[in-house]
Amino acid sequence: MPTQVAEIFGIEYPIFAFTHCRDVVVAVSKAGGLGVLGAAIHTDERLEIDLQWIDAQLGDIPYGVDLMMPSNYVGAATGGMEHKALREYIPDEHRQFVEKLLADAGVPELPDHLTASKKERGLRYSQKQAKGIVDIAFAHKARFLVSALGTPPDWVTEAAHARGLYVGALAGKKKHAERHKAAGVDVIIAQSYEAGGHTGEIGGMVLIPEIVDAVAPLPVLGAGGIGNGRQMAAALALGAQGVWCGSVWLTTAESELDRMARQKLLAAGTDDTARTRSMTGKHARFLRSAWTEAWDRSDTPDPLKTPLQSVLNYHSLRRIDHAMKAPGITSESGAYQLYSYPAGQGIGAQNSVRATRDVVREMVEGYVEAIARLNEQLEG
């Protein structure tokens, strides 16, 4: 598929895979696409280990690194606040609500060996904190640096370009895409309402062509609900040069998710996700759960602004994750009911475990078949 982005990166298929799992990054890149490691929840030590491993597995095959560089968050005026200072902004009402939620569900406390760590994951919500990820990415073989949230600062784009990296950024609105283009971003990802994680309110049929027209001639990737070849063909028909997919990899054999977490995603339907502020303070699409429903009730506290909601949630979500790994857990367990994960509306089609390379192959075959059907209709 010789699209513009495929030629830029030297890849066979313009399929970009966002994932928190290094195994999926490698599998997609080896299958002809381009794996992108979501690094915002990594510690520096974990990211260094994972990128060393990816480099060793891929050699000169390209891959990317994704992080968050927002401009609007608590503490933005000073470039970001330390975690200890942020915790002082959290109201007691919110702390008590979260504690009661876990207590009512019977979620146990973390064992001592897990609470002793001073390293906190998932709290990189400032441009200052993003610098650590950027510096580590620059020291490795990543070819694509992507901002999942926010326009990359000038120093990031300039430093990436000086090292031969391309820079990408996700956009949920036309104005976001135009801001990215003005900042020197090379590839725009049009992330629609259907997508998992941080996402906006505009559907892909409207958003993708609007952004394509707004930032031309920059290449655009379509994102949101794309998990098969027909959807890929639709995105390219709307003007995209490739696709950015996330949820389709969550149920693969290589996925980072444990058995019960994967089981919950495999059982999810198209309407089993919710766009909620309960996880990060910004609207993000997650698997619907007792957690998201409790926060969205009118009689419970409103989620806090970013990154306070993540700071509040951090230890509670770790308790839920740890409980999900317990040998005796069932779908009736409180932790299972509370458990959530970023997932788009396309998760409803992911109801079997497949090898990542097979997902890529099936997407390509489905794309070819969809284009062939359209050609037959034109000729007929």
The tens digit of pLDDT for each residue in 66-92 reads 998 777 666 666 666 677 778 888 999
Look at residue 32 and tell me whether its pLDDT is greater than 90. Answer: yes
pLDDT over 70 percentage in the chain: 93
Domain count along the chain: 2
Residue 222 lies in a domain: yes
Residue 366 lies in a domain: no
Average pLDDT over residues 9-33: 98
293 has which bridge partners? none
Q: Would you state the pLDDT for residue 163?
A: 96
Q: Would you state the pLDDT for residue 122?
A: 47
Residues 173 and 94 in one domain: no
The tens digit of pLDDT for each residue in 359-373 reads 999 999 999 999 999
Residues 154 and 302 in one domain: no
Q: Would you state the pLDDT for residue 77?
A: 64
Residue 200 lies in a domain: yes
Q: What is the pTM of this model?
A: 0.94
Residues 302 and 274 in one domain: yes
Residues 231 and 275 in one domain: no
Residues 197 and 289 in one domain: no
Residues 89 and 138 in one domain: no
Residues 273 and 209 in one domain: no
Last residue of a domain, one of 219, 254, 289: 254
What is the three-class DSSP state of 230? helix
Residues 155 and 211 in one domain: yes
Q: How far is CA 299 from the centre of its chain?
A: 30
The tens digit of pLDDT for each residue in 193-229 reads 999 999 999 999 999 999 999 999 999 999 999 999 9
Residue 356 lies in a domain: no
Per the model's pLDDT, the better-predicted residue between 42 and 183 turns out to be 183
The domain of 315 spans: 82-121+257-345
Residue 379 lies in a domain: no
Look at residue 119 and tell me whether its pLDDT is greater than 60. Answer: no
Last residue of a domain, one of 216, 235, 254: 254
Mean pLDDT of the chain: 93
Q: Would you state the pLDDT for residue 266?
A: 97
Among the listed ranges 1-15, 128-142, 200-214, 271-285, which one has the minimum average pLDDT value? 128-142
Q: Would you state the pLDDT for residue 198?
A: 94
Look at residue 246 and tell me whether its pLDDT is greater than 80. Answer: yes
Residue 370 lies in a domain: no
Using CA atoms, how far residue 25 sits from 62, 69, 74, 78, 352, in Å, is 10, 21, 32, 34, 20
All residues at 6 or more sequence positions from 135 whose CB lies less than 8 Å from its CB, including other chains: none
Residue 230 lies in a domain: yes
Last residue of a domain, one of 254, 285, 319: 254
Nearest-angstrom CA–CA distance, 369 and 374 = 9
Residue 21 is part of a domain; what is its CATH number? 3.20.20.70
Nearest-angstrom CA–CA distance, 253 and 144 = 25
Residue 326 lies in a domain: yes
Q: What angle do CA 219, 220, 221 make, to 5 degrees?
A: 130
Using CA atoms, how far residue 368 sits from 167, 168, 179, 222, 365, in Å, is 29, 27, 34, 18, 5
Residues 46 and 137 in one domain: yes
Average pLDDT over residues 299-312: 93
Residues 176 and 301 in one domain: no
Residues 94 and 231 in one domain: no
The tens digit of pLDDT for each residue in 143-195 reads 999 999 889 999 999 999 999 999 999 999 999 999 999 999 999 999 999 99
| Contact in structure between 154 and 175 (CB atoms under 8 Å) | no
Residues 135 and 230 in one domain: yes
Q: Would you state the pLDDT for residue 227?
A: 97
Average pLDDT over residues 46-70: 94
